[in-house]
Structure 1
Protein backbone atom coordinates (compact mmCIF):
# COMPACT_ATOMS: atom_id res chain seq x y z
CA UNK A 1 0.00 0.00 0.00
CA UNK A 2 2.87 2.37 0.80
CA UNK A 3 4.28 1.86 -2.70
CA UNK A 4 0.91 2.75 -4.23
CA UNK A 5 0.80 5.94 -2.16
CA UNK A 6 4.36 6.83 -3.11
CA UNK A 7 4.03 6.16 -6.83
CA UNK A 8 0.42 7.08 -7.62
CA UNK A 9 -1.69 8.58 -4.87
CA UNK A 10 0.72 11.21 -3.54
CA UNK A 11 1.56 12.55 -7.03
CA UNK A 12 -2.17 12.66 -7.84
CA UNK A 13 -2.79 14.49 -4.57
CA UNK A 14 -0.12 17.01 -5.53
CA UNK A 15 -1.68 17.63 -8.94
CA UNK A 16 -5.13 17.78 -7.40
CA UNK A 17 -3.99 20.40 -4.90
CA UNK A 18 -2.48 22.48 -7.68
CA UNK A 19 -5.66 22.32 -9.78
CA UNK A 20 -7.78 23.22 -6.74
CA UNK A 21 -5.66 26.29 -5.95
CA UNK A 22 -5.79 27.27 -9.63
CA UNK A 23 -9.59 26.98 -9.64
CA UNK A 24 -10.00 28.96 -6.42
CA UNK A 25 -7.76 31.77 -7.65
CA UNK A 26 -9.61 31.84 -11.00
CA UNK A 27 -13.06 32.20 -9.39
CA UNK A 28 -11.93 34.52 -6.58
CA UNK A 29 -11.70 37.59 -8.80
CA UNK A 30 -8.11 38.32 -7.78
CA UNK A 31 -7.07 38.32 -11.43
CA UNK A 32 -8.69 40.68 -13.96
CA UNK A 33 -11.54 39.07 -15.95
CA UNK A 34 -10.36 36.94 -18.85
CA UNK A 35 -6.74 36.65 -17.73
CA UNK A 36 -6.93 33.43 -15.73
CA UNK A 37 -9.32 30.79 -17.09
CA UNK A 38 -10.64 28.03 -14.88
CA UNK A 39 -9.14 24.55 -15.30
CA UNK A 40 -12.41 23.21 -16.72
CA UNK A 41 -12.41 25.98 -19.34
CA UNK A 42 -8.89 25.02 -20.39
CA UNK A 43 -9.88 21.35 -20.62
CA UNK A 44 -12.95 22.27 -22.69
CA UNK A 45 -10.83 24.35 -25.07
CA UNK A 46 -8.34 21.50 -25.47
CA UNK A 47 -11.15 19.05 -26.18
CA UNK A 48 -12.49 21.38 -28.87
CA UNK A 49 -9.04 21.84 -30.39
CA UNK A 50 -8.42 18.09 -30.47
CA UNK A 51 -11.76 17.57 -32.18
CA UNK A 52 -11.83 20.49 -34.62
CA UNK A 53 -8.24 21.65 -35.23
CA UNK A 54 -6.26 18.39 -35.07
CA UNK A 55 -4.33 19.42 -31.97
CA UNK A 56 -3.03 15.84 -31.79
CA UNK A 57 -0.93 16.63 -34.86
CA UNK A 58 0.71 19.50 -32.99
CA UNK A 59 1.46 17.20 -30.06
CA UNK A 60 2.94 14.56 -32.34
CA UNK A 61 5.12 17.06 -34.19
CA UNK A 62 6.47 18.59 -30.98
CA UNK A 63 7.16 15.20 -29.43
CA UNK A 64 8.94 14.08 -32.61
CA UNK A 65 11.07 17.22 -32.67
CA UNK A 66 12.07 16.74 -29.05
CA UNK A 67 12.88 13.05 -29.63
CA UNK A 68 15.07 13.88 -32.62
CA UNK A 69 16.80 16.68 -30.72
CA UNK A 70 17.49 14.45 -27.71
CA UNK A 71 18.56 11.44 -29.80
CA UNK A 72 20.99 13.37 -31.99
CA UNK A 73 22.23 15.69 -29.25
CA UNK A 74 22.92 12.87 -26.78
CA UNK A 75 24.46 10.66 -29.47
CA UNK A 76 26.94 13.42 -30.24
CA UNK A 77 27.51 14.17 -26.54
CA UNK A 78 28.27 10.55 -25.60
CA UNK A 79 31.66 10.14 -27.35
CA UNK A 80 32.61 13.73 -26.56
CA UNK A 81 31.78 13.22 -22.89
CA UNK A 82 33.84 10.01 -22.72
CA UNK A 83 36.83 11.71 -24.36
CA UNK A 84 36.70 14.68 -22.03
CA UNK A 85 36.39 12.43 -18.98
CA UNK A 86 39.09 9.98 -20.06
CA UNK A 87 41.72 12.52 -21.11
CA UNK A 88 42.30 15.16 -18.46
CA UNK A 89 44.20 17.58 -20.73
CA UNK A 90 41.26 17.60 -23.16
CA UNK A 91 38.87 18.34 -20.30
CA UNK A 92 41.07 21.14 -19.00
CA UNK A 93 41.32 22.59 -22.50
CA UNK A 94 37.69 22.45 -23.53
CA UNK A 95 35.71 22.59 -20.28
CA UNK A 96 35.56 26.43 -20.27
CA UNK A 97 34.45 26.38 -23.91
CA UNK A 98 31.64 23.93 -23.22
CA UNK A 99 30.59 25.94 -20.16
CA UNK A 100 30.49 29.05 -22.35
CA UNK A 101 28.20 27.50 -24.96
CA UNK A 102 26.04 25.77 -22.35
CA UNK A 103 25.34 29.16 -20.76
CA UNK A 104 24.11 30.62 -24.06
CA UNK A 105 20.30 30.43 -24.23
CA UNK A 106 19.24 28.76 -27.50
CA UNK A 107 16.77 31.57 -28.19
CA UNK A 108 19.73 33.96 -28.52
CA UNK A 109 20.98 31.92 -31.47
CA UNK A 110 17.74 32.14 -33.46
CA UNK A 111 18.82 35.12 -35.62
CA UNK A 112 22.06 33.35 -36.56
CA UNK A 113 20.27 30.06 -37.17
CA UNK A 114 17.84 31.79 -39.53
CA UNK A 115 20.75 33.39 -41.42
CA UNK A 116 22.63 30.13 -41.90
CA UNK A 117 19.87 27.50 -41.97
CA UNK A 118 16.80 29.45 -43.04
CA UNK A 119 13.38 28.97 -41.48
CA UNK A 120 12.82 25.31 -42.31
CA UNK A 121 12.59 22.25 -40.12
CA UNK A 122 16.38 21.86 -40.00
CA UNK A 123 16.66 25.19 -38.18
CA UNK A 124 14.18 24.14 -35.49
CA UNK A 125 15.91 20.79 -35.05
CA UNK A 126 19.32 22.47 -34.81
CA UNK A 127 18.13 24.55 -31.85
CA UNK A 128 16.91 21.43 -30.04
CA UNK A 129 20.05 19.42 -30.86
CA UNK A 130 22.19 22.30 -29.61
CA UNK A 131 20.25 22.44 -26.34
CA UNK A 132 20.39 18.66 -25.82
CA UNK A 133 24.09 18.36 -26.66
CA UNK A 134 25.43 21.00 -24.30
CA UNK A 135 23.03 20.02 -21.51
CA UNK A 136 24.02 16.35 -21.65
CA UNK A 137 27.73 16.44 -22.47
CA UNK A 138 28.61 18.14 -19.18
CA UNK A 139 26.56 15.63 -17.16
CA UNK A 140 28.24 12.74 -18.96
CA UNK A 141 31.85 13.79 -18.61
CA UNK A 142 31.51 15.08 -15.05
CA UNK A 143 29.82 11.83 -14.04
CA UNK A 144 32.45 9.65 -15.68
CA UNK A 145 35.33 11.78 -14.38
CA UNK A 146 34.03 11.32 -10.84
CA UNK A 147 34.10 7.50 -11.08
CA UNK A 148 35.47 6.01 -7.88
CA UNK A 149 39.18 5.39 -8.38
CA UNK A 150 38.99 2.11 -6.48
CA UNK A 151 37.30 0.40 -9.43
CA UNK A 152 40.02 1.56 -11.81
CA UNK A 153 42.81 0.45 -9.47
CA UNK A 154 41.15 -2.92 -8.90
CA UNK A 155 40.85 -3.56 -12.63
CA UNK A 156 44.44 -2.56 -13.29
CA UNK A 157 45.70 -4.73 -10.43
CA UNK A 158 44.04 -7.68 -12.17
CA UNK A 159 45.93 -6.94 -15.37
CA UNK A 160 43.17 -5.26 -17.36
CA UNK A 161 44.32 -3.40 -20.44
CA UNK A 162 43.16 0.15 -21.15
CA UNK A 163 40.52 -1.11 -23.56
CA UNK A 164 39.27 -3.73 -21.07
CA UNK A 165 39.24 -1.13 -18.32
CA UNK A 166 37.20 1.18 -20.49
CA UNK A 167 34.79 -1.51 -21.75
CA UNK A 168 34.26 -3.50 -18.55
CA UNK A 169 34.56 -0.85 -15.84
CA UNK A 170 34.05 2.67 -17.14
CA UNK A 171 31.19 1.99 -19.55
CA UNK A 172 29.01 0.03 -17.07
CA UNK A 173 29.61 2.61 -14.36
CA UNK A 174 28.75 5.37 -16.80
CA UNK A 175 25.31 3.98 -17.67
CA UNK A 176 23.49 5.85 -14.86
CA UNK A 177 25.16 9.13 -15.83
CA UNK A 178 24.25 8.65 -19.48
CA UNK A 179 20.62 8.05 -18.58
CA UNK A 180 20.62 11.06 -16.27
CA UNK A 181 22.04 13.10 -19.15
CA UNK A 182 19.21 11.94 -21.40
CA UNK A 183 16.64 12.95 -18.78
CA UNK A 184 18.28 16.37 -18.44
CA UNK A 185 18.34 16.74 -22.23
CA UNK A 186 14.63 15.89 -22.45
CA UNK A 187 13.77 18.59 -19.94
CA UNK A 188 15.98 21.17 -21.65
CA UNK A 189 14.56 20.35 -25.08
CA UNK A 190 10.98 20.75 -23.90
CA UNK A 191 11.96 24.05 -22.28
CA UNK A 192 13.51 25.12 -25.60
CA UNK A 193 10.66 23.88 -27.77
CA UNK A 194 8.70 27.13 -27.91
CA UNK A 195 11.84 29.05 -28.90
CA UNK A 196 12.61 26.48 -31.61
CA UNK A 197 9.09 26.64 -32.99
CA UNK A 198 9.30 30.42 -33.19
CA UNK A 199 11.26 29.84 -36.40
CA UNK A 200 8.24 30.06 -38.74
CA UNK A 201 6.70 26.79 -37.55
CA UNK A 202 3.15 26.28 -38.83
CA UNK A 203 2.31 23.42 -36.47
CA UNK A 204 3.49 22.26 -33.07
CA UNK A 205 2.63 23.08 -29.48
CA UNK A 206 4.93 26.10 -29.43
CA UNK A 207 3.38 27.40 -32.64
CA UNK A 208 -0.11 26.83 -31.20
CA UNK A 209 0.77 28.83 -28.10
CA UNK A 210 2.15 31.66 -30.21
CA UNK A 211 -0.93 31.72 -32.45
CA UNK A 212 -3.23 31.68 -29.42
CA UNK A 213 -1.30 34.52 -27.79
CA UNK A 214 -1.52 36.60 -30.96
CA UNK A 215 -5.31 36.34 -30.87
CA UNK A 216 -5.48 36.53 -27.05
CA UNK A 217 -6.99 33.05 -26.79
CA UNK A 218 -5.85 32.73 -23.21
CA UNK A 219 -7.48 29.33 -22.63
CA UNK A 220 -5.45 27.84 -25.50
CA UNK A 221 -2.27 29.44 -24.20
CA UNK A 222 -2.80 27.71 -20.87
CA UNK A 223 -3.80 24.52 -22.67
CA UNK A 224 -0.60 24.49 -24.72
CA UNK A 225 1.47 25.02 -21.60
CA UNK A 226 -0.35 22.15 -19.88
CA UNK A 227 0.23 19.85 -22.86
CA UNK A 228 3.94 20.67 -22.95
CA UNK A 229 4.22 19.97 -19.23
CA UNK A 230 2.31 16.70 -19.47
CA UNK A 231 4.31 15.53 -22.49
CA UNK A 232 7.58 16.30 -20.74
CA UNK A 233 6.36 14.56 -17.58
CA UNK A 234 5.36 11.40 -19.46
CA UNK A 235 8.72 11.21 -21.24
CA UNK A 236 10.60 11.79 -17.99
CA UNK A 237 8.64 9.09 -16.17
CA UNK A 238 9.24 6.62 -18.99
CA UNK A 239 12.96 7.36 -18.86
CA UNK A 240 12.92 6.94 -15.09
CA UNK A 241 11.42 3.46 -15.52
CA UNK A 242 14.00 2.56 -18.17
CA UNK A 243 16.77 3.87 -15.95
CA UNK A 244 15.60 1.90 -12.95
CA UNK A 245 15.42 -1.32 -14.95
CA UNK A 246 18.69 -0.77 -16.80
CA UNK A 247 20.75 -0.13 -13.67
CA UNK A 248 18.83 -2.03 -11.02
CA UNK A 249 22.09 -3.72 -10.08
CA UNK A 250 23.36 -0.40 -8.73
CA UNK A 251 21.77 0.51 -5.42
CA UNK A 252 22.71 4.16 -5.78
CA UNK A 253 20.42 4.71 -8.75
CA UNK A 254 16.83 5.72 -8.04
CA UNK A 255 13.81 6.45 -10.20
Structure 2
Protein backbone atom coordinates (compact mmCIF):
# COMPACT_ATOMS: atom_id res chain seq x y z
CA UNK A 1 0.00 0.00 0.00
CA UNK A 2 1.49 3.33 -1.07
CA UNK A 3 1.51 6.46 1.10
CA UNK A 4 -0.85 8.18 -1.31
CA UNK A 5 -3.47 5.52 -0.56
CA UNK A 6 -3.44 6.57 3.07
CA UNK A 7 -3.18 10.30 2.44
CA UNK A 8 -5.89 11.76 0.17
CA UNK A 9 -4.05 15.06 -0.10
CA UNK A 10 -0.91 13.36 -1.34
CA UNK A 11 -3.00 11.36 -3.77
CA UNK A 12 -4.47 14.54 -5.22
CA UNK A 13 -0.96 15.89 -5.71
CA UNK A 14 -0.02 12.71 -7.55
CA UNK A 15 -3.07 13.10 -9.81
CA UNK A 16 -2.02 16.66 -10.64
CA UNK A 17 1.53 15.51 -11.38
CA UNK A 18 0.26 12.77 -13.65
CA UNK A 19 -1.92 15.26 -15.51
CA UNK A 20 1.01 17.64 -15.93
CA UNK A 21 3.10 14.85 -17.44
CA UNK A 22 0.77 14.86 -20.44
CA UNK A 23 1.45 18.52 -21.21
CA UNK A 24 3.16 19.29 -24.45
CA UNK A 25 6.94 19.69 -24.40
CA UNK A 26 7.45 21.06 -27.87
CA UNK A 27 7.77 24.67 -26.73
CA UNK A 28 5.34 27.33 -27.98
CA UNK A 29 2.19 25.88 -29.45
CA UNK A 30 2.13 28.43 -32.24
CA UNK A 31 5.23 28.06 -34.42
CA UNK A 32 7.18 31.10 -35.48
CA UNK A 33 6.10 30.49 -39.09
CA UNK A 34 2.61 31.73 -38.13
CA UNK A 35 3.99 35.27 -38.07
CA UNK A 36 4.96 34.97 -41.71
CA UNK A 37 1.51 33.61 -42.51
CA UNK A 38 -0.03 36.62 -40.78
CA UNK A 39 2.17 39.02 -42.75
CA UNK A 40 1.44 37.16 -46.00
CA UNK A 41 -2.32 37.26 -45.57
CA UNK A 42 -2.10 40.95 -44.60
CA UNK A 43 -0.19 41.73 -47.79
CA UNK A 44 -2.67 39.74 -49.87
CA UNK A 45 -5.60 41.50 -48.24
CA UNK A 46 -4.15 44.94 -48.89
CA UNK A 47 -3.37 43.99 -52.48
CA UNK A 48 -6.90 42.76 -53.14
CA UNK A 49 -8.31 45.87 -51.48
CA UNK A 50 -6.17 48.18 -53.61
CA UNK A 51 -7.12 46.24 -56.77
CA UNK A 52 -10.84 46.37 -55.96
CA UNK A 53 -10.70 50.11 -55.28
CA UNK A 54 -8.78 50.75 -58.50
CA UNK A 55 -11.15 48.71 -60.68
CA UNK A 56 -14.43 49.83 -59.10
CA UNK A 57 -14.36 53.30 -60.66
CA UNK A 58 -16.41 54.55 -57.72
CA UNK A 59 -14.96 57.56 -55.92
CA UNK A 60 -16.70 56.46 -52.71
CA UNK A 61 -14.65 53.25 -52.53
CA UNK A 62 -11.47 54.36 -50.75
CA UNK A 63 -8.07 52.89 -51.49
CA UNK A 64 -5.60 51.84 -48.76
CA UNK A 65 -3.63 55.04 -49.39
CA UNK A 66 -6.70 57.24 -48.93
CA UNK A 67 -7.59 55.45 -45.72
CA UNK A 68 -4.03 55.82 -44.43
CA UNK A 69 -4.15 59.57 -45.14
CA UNK A 70 -7.51 59.89 -43.37
CA UNK A 71 -6.15 57.95 -40.37
CA UNK A 72 -3.13 60.26 -40.23
CA UNK A 73 -5.34 63.35 -40.29
CA UNK A 74 -7.58 61.96 -37.52
CA UNK A 75 -4.51 61.03 -35.48
CA UNK A 76 -3.02 64.52 -35.84
CA UNK A 77 -6.09 66.29 -34.51
CA UNK A 78 -6.42 63.72 -31.72
CA UNK A 79 -9.99 62.71 -32.54
CA UNK A 80 -9.04 59.16 -33.53
CA UNK A 81 -7.42 58.33 -30.20
CA UNK A 82 -10.10 60.15 -28.20
CA UNK A 83 -12.89 58.20 -29.89
CA UNK A 84 -10.98 54.93 -29.64
CA UNK A 85 -10.35 55.49 -25.93
CA UNK A 86 -14.03 56.21 -25.31
CA UNK A 87 -15.13 53.05 -27.12
CA UNK A 88 -12.45 50.94 -25.46
CA UNK A 89 -13.49 52.16 -22.02
CA UNK A 90 -17.12 51.22 -22.65
CA UNK A 91 -16.21 47.81 -23.98
CA UNK A 92 -13.85 47.01 -21.12
CA UNK A 93 -16.37 48.10 -18.49
CA UNK A 94 -19.29 46.13 -19.93
CA UNK A 95 -17.14 43.13 -20.81
CA UNK A 96 -15.50 42.85 -17.39
CA UNK A 97 -18.81 43.22 -15.57
CA UNK A 98 -20.50 40.68 -17.83
CA UNK A 99 -17.75 38.08 -17.49
CA UNK A 100 -17.42 38.67 -13.74
CA UNK A 101 -21.09 37.76 -13.30
CA UNK A 102 -21.24 35.08 -16.01
CA UNK A 103 -18.48 32.86 -14.59
CA UNK A 104 -19.99 32.32 -11.11
CA UNK A 105 -23.48 32.07 -12.60
CA UNK A 106 -22.28 29.43 -15.05
CA UNK A 107 -20.60 27.46 -12.28
CA UNK A 108 -23.76 27.54 -10.17
CA UNK A 109 -25.91 26.44 -13.09
CA UNK A 110 -23.60 23.56 -13.92
CA UNK A 111 -22.94 22.40 -10.36
CA UNK A 112 -26.36 22.76 -8.70
CA UNK A 113 -29.62 21.49 -10.18
CA UNK A 114 -31.60 24.07 -8.23
CA UNK A 115 -29.64 26.98 -9.73
CA UNK A 116 -29.87 25.41 -13.18
CA UNK A 117 -33.63 25.09 -12.93
CA UNK A 118 -34.08 28.65 -11.71
CA UNK A 119 -31.60 30.50 -13.94
CA UNK A 120 -31.20 28.54 -17.18
CA UNK A 121 -34.72 29.23 -18.58
CA UNK A 122 -34.17 32.97 -18.22
CA UNK A 123 -30.72 32.79 -19.76
CA UNK A 124 -32.01 30.80 -22.71
CA UNK A 125 -34.92 33.20 -23.13
CA UNK A 126 -32.73 36.30 -23.09
CA UNK A 127 -30.19 34.64 -25.39
CA UNK A 128 -32.77 34.53 -28.19
CA UNK A 129 -33.45 38.27 -27.82
CA UNK A 130 -30.74 40.32 -29.59
CA UNK A 131 -29.22 42.90 -27.23
CA UNK A 132 -29.70 45.48 -29.98
CA UNK A 133 -33.47 44.96 -29.72
CA UNK A 134 -33.28 46.13 -26.11
CA UNK A 135 -31.58 49.44 -26.94
CA UNK A 136 -34.85 51.44 -27.29
CA UNK A 137 -36.12 50.12 -23.95
CA UNK A 138 -32.78 50.69 -22.26
CA UNK A 139 -32.67 54.28 -23.52
CA UNK A 140 -36.16 54.94 -22.18
CA UNK A 141 -35.24 53.53 -18.75
CA UNK A 142 -31.58 54.53 -18.37
CA UNK A 143 -31.42 57.48 -20.73
CA UNK A 144 -28.76 58.13 -23.37
CA UNK A 145 -25.79 58.34 -21.03
CA UNK A 146 -22.94 55.91 -20.41
CA UNK A 147 -25.04 53.64 -18.21
CA UNK A 148 -27.26 52.62 -21.10
CA UNK A 149 -24.33 51.78 -23.38
CA UNK A 150 -22.44 49.86 -20.70
CA UNK A 151 -25.56 47.89 -19.74
CA UNK A 152 -26.19 46.72 -23.31
CA UNK A 153 -22.54 45.63 -23.64
CA UNK A 154 -22.72 43.94 -20.24
CA UNK A 155 -25.80 41.97 -21.26
CA UNK A 156 -24.26 40.82 -24.54
CA UNK A 157 -21.05 39.72 -22.79
CA UNK A 158 -22.89 37.96 -19.99
CA UNK A 159 -25.13 35.90 -22.25
CA UNK A 160 -22.19 34.79 -24.41
CA UNK A 161 -19.97 33.76 -21.51
CA UNK A 162 -22.44 32.21 -19.08
CA UNK A 163 -23.46 29.40 -21.42
CA UNK A 164 -19.85 28.50 -22.20
CA UNK A 165 -19.03 28.32 -18.49
CA UNK A 166 -22.14 26.25 -17.80
CA UNK A 167 -21.29 23.85 -20.62
CA UNK A 168 -17.74 23.54 -19.33
CA UNK A 169 -18.95 22.45 -15.90
CA UNK A 170 -21.44 20.02 -17.41
CA UNK A 171 -18.72 18.46 -19.58
CA UNK A 172 -16.40 17.62 -16.67
CA UNK A 173 -15.60 13.91 -16.79
CA UNK A 174 -17.49 12.12 -14.01
CA UNK A 175 -14.63 9.65 -13.77
CA UNK A 176 -12.37 12.40 -12.46
CA UNK A 177 -14.99 13.55 -9.96
CA UNK A 178 -15.62 10.01 -8.71
CA UNK A 179 -11.88 9.31 -8.46
CA UNK A 180 -11.42 12.43 -6.35
CA UNK A 181 -14.26 11.36 -4.06
CA UNK A 182 -12.76 7.90 -3.64
CA UNK A 183 -9.48 9.53 -2.64
CA UNK A 184 -11.29 11.44 0.11
CA UNK A 185 -11.67 14.88 -1.47
CA UNK A 186 -14.57 17.00 -0.27
CA UNK A 187 -16.87 18.99 -2.56
CA UNK A 188 -14.85 22.19 -2.31
CA UNK A 189 -11.59 20.37 -3.18
CA UNK A 190 -13.26 18.65 -6.13
CA UNK A 191 -14.63 21.96 -7.35
CA UNK A 192 -11.28 23.73 -6.98
CA UNK A 193 -8.96 20.96 -8.20
CA UNK A 194 -11.11 19.21 -10.82
CA UNK A 195 -14.09 21.26 -11.99
CA UNK A 196 -12.42 24.67 -12.30
CA UNK A 197 -9.36 23.47 -14.29
CA UNK A 198 -11.49 21.32 -16.59
CA UNK A 199 -13.87 24.22 -17.25
CA UNK A 200 -11.20 26.86 -17.88
CA UNK A 201 -10.85 26.21 -21.66
CA UNK A 202 -14.63 26.59 -22.07
CA UNK A 203 -14.58 29.80 -20.04
CA UNK A 204 -11.96 31.37 -22.28
CA UNK A 205 -13.88 30.38 -25.38
CA UNK A 206 -16.92 32.09 -23.90
CA UNK A 207 -14.86 35.17 -23.05
CA UNK A 208 -13.59 35.43 -26.61
CA UNK A 209 -17.11 35.12 -28.00
CA UNK A 210 -18.30 37.67 -25.44
CA UNK A 211 -15.59 40.07 -26.55
CA UNK A 212 -16.83 39.97 -30.13
CA UNK A 213 -20.40 40.49 -28.96
CA UNK A 214 -19.29 43.44 -26.84
CA UNK A 215 -17.67 45.24 -29.75
CA UNK A 216 -20.60 44.54 -32.10
CA UNK A 217 -23.07 45.84 -29.53
CA UNK A 218 -20.94 48.89 -28.74
CA UNK A 219 -20.98 50.22 -32.30
CA UNK A 220 -24.76 49.93 -32.48
CA UNK A 221 -25.22 51.64 -29.12
CA UNK A 222 -22.91 54.50 -30.11
CA UNK A 223 -24.96 55.21 -33.19
CA UNK A 224 -27.67 56.55 -30.89
CA UNK A 225 -26.87 59.85 -29.15
CA UNK A 226 -23.24 59.12 -28.30
CA UNK A 227 -21.03 62.24 -27.98
CA UNK A 228 -17.82 60.28 -28.60
CA UNK A 229 -16.72 56.86 -29.76
CA UNK A 230 -15.76 55.10 -32.94
CA UNK A 231 -19.38 54.41 -33.78
CA UNK A 232 -20.18 58.10 -33.43
CA UNK A 233 -17.17 59.00 -35.57
CA UNK A 234 -18.37 56.64 -38.29
CA UNK A 235 -21.89 58.07 -38.12
CA UNK A 236 -20.63 61.63 -38.60
CA UNK A 237 -18.45 60.48 -41.50
CA UNK A 238 -21.49 58.83 -43.10
CA UNK A 239 -23.37 62.13 -43.12
CA UNK A 240 -20.57 63.72 -45.17
CA UNK A 241 -19.90 60.63 -47.37
CA UNK A 242 -16.39 60.34 -45.92
CA UNK A 243 -16.01 56.65 -46.60
CA UNK A 244 -12.29 56.74 -45.92
CA UNK A 245 -12.98 57.77 -42.31
CA UNK A 246 -15.64 55.08 -42.02
CA UNK A 247 -13.04 52.49 -43.01
CA UNK A 248 -10.62 53.97 -40.48
CA UNK A 249 -13.23 53.36 -37.76
CA UNK A 250 -13.78 49.80 -38.96
CA UNK A 251 -10.04 49.11 -38.94
CA UNK A 252 -9.63 50.58 -35.44
CA UNK A 253 -12.43 48.39 -34.09
CA UNK A 254 -10.89 45.35 -35.73
CA UNK A 255 -7.41 46.13 -34.42
CA UNK A 256 -8.57 46.75 -30.86
CA UNK A 257 -10.68 43.61 -30.89
CA UNK A 258 -7.84 41.57 -32.36
CA UNK A 259 -5.36 42.75 -29.73
CA UNK A 260 -7.78 42.00 -26.90
CA UNK A 261 -8.49 38.55 -28.35
CA UNK A 262 -4.76 37.79 -28.56
CA UNK A 263 -4.38 38.80 -24.91
CA UNK A 264 -7.16 36.40 -23.92
CA UNK A 265 -5.54 33.66 -26.00
CA UNK A 266 -2.19 34.29 -24.31
CA UNK A 267 -3.82 34.10 -20.86
CA UNK A 268 -5.58 30.88 -21.85
CA UNK A 269 -2.30 29.26 -22.84
CA UNK A 270 -0.70 30.27 -19.57
CA UNK A 271 -3.57 28.95 -17.46
CA UNK A 272 -4.19 25.76 -19.45
CA UNK A 273 -0.62 24.71 -20.20
CA UNK A 274 -1.53 21.20 -19.11
CA UNK A 275 -3.95 20.81 -22.01
CA UNK A 276 -2.83 19.01 -25.15
CA UNK A 277 -3.88 20.87 -28.28
CA UNK A 278 -2.91 20.77 -31.91
CA UNK A 279 -0.34 23.33 -32.99
Equivalent residue of 2:238, what SS? Answer: helix
Equivalent residue of 1:82, what SS? Answer: helix
Match of 2:15 in 1: none
Structure 1, unaligned runs of 5 or more: none
Deviation string for 1:118-152 (max 9, x for gaps)?
A: 00011110010011000100111011111111110
Preserved contact between residue 106 and residue 195 of structure 1 (Cα < 8 Å)? no
Q: Give the deviation of 1:95 after TM superposition.
A: 2.9
Within the alignment, does 1:250 sit opposite 2:253 as a pair? Answer: no
2:170 to 145, 151, 175: 145
Within the alignment, does 1:12 sit opposite 2:39 as a pair? Answer: yes
Match of 2:210 in 1: 185
Select between 20-29 and 91-100 the one with higher mean Cα deviation: 91-100
Residues in 1 aligned to 2:143 and 2:220: alpha-carbon distance in whole angstroms:
15
Deviation string for 1:41-69 (max 9, x for gaps)?
A: 11110110010242111111111111111
Residues in 1 aligned to 2:32 and 2:188: alpha-carbon distance in whole angstroms:
44
1:224 to 218, 230, 249: 249
1:200 to 214, 220, 225: 225
Preserved contact between residue 168 and residue 200 of structure 2 (Cα < 8 Å)? no
Q: Give the deviation of 1:97 after TM superposition.
A: 2.7
Deviation string for 1:205-253 (max 9, x for gaps)?
A: 111111111221111111101110111011111111111112112224x
1:240 to 265, 269, 274: 265
Residues in 2 aligned to 1:242 and 1:21: alpha-carbon distance in whole angstroms:
34
Structure 2, unaligned runs of 5 or more: 1-29
Aligned length: 250
2:198 to 162, 173, 181: 173
Preserved contact between residue 168 and residue 198 of structure 2 (Cα < 8 Å)? no
Residues in 2 aligned to 1:136 and 1:95: alpha-carbon distance in whole angstroms:
13
Preserved contact between residue 114 and residue 199 of structure 1 (Cα < 8 Å)? no
Within the alignment, does 1:43 sit opposite 2:68 as a pair? Answer: yes
Within the alignment, does 1:52 sit opposite 2:65 as a pair? Answer: no
TM-score by length of 1: 0.92
2:147 to 100, 110, 122: 122
Residues in 2 aligned to 1:90 and 1:56: alpha-carbon distance in whole angstroms:
44
Larger radius of gyration: 2
Residues in 2 aligned to 1:92 and 1:20: alpha-carbon distance in whole angstroms:
53
Preserved contact between residue 107 and residue 165 of structure 2 (Cα < 8 Å)? yes
Match of 1:25 in 2: 52
Q: Give the deviation of 1:10 after TM superposition.
A: 0.2
Select between 111-120 and 49-58 the one with higher mean Cα deviation: 49-58
TM-score by length of 2: 0.85
Equivalent residue of 1:3, what SS? Answer: coil
Within the alignment, does 1:63 sit opposite 2:88 as a pair? Answer: yes
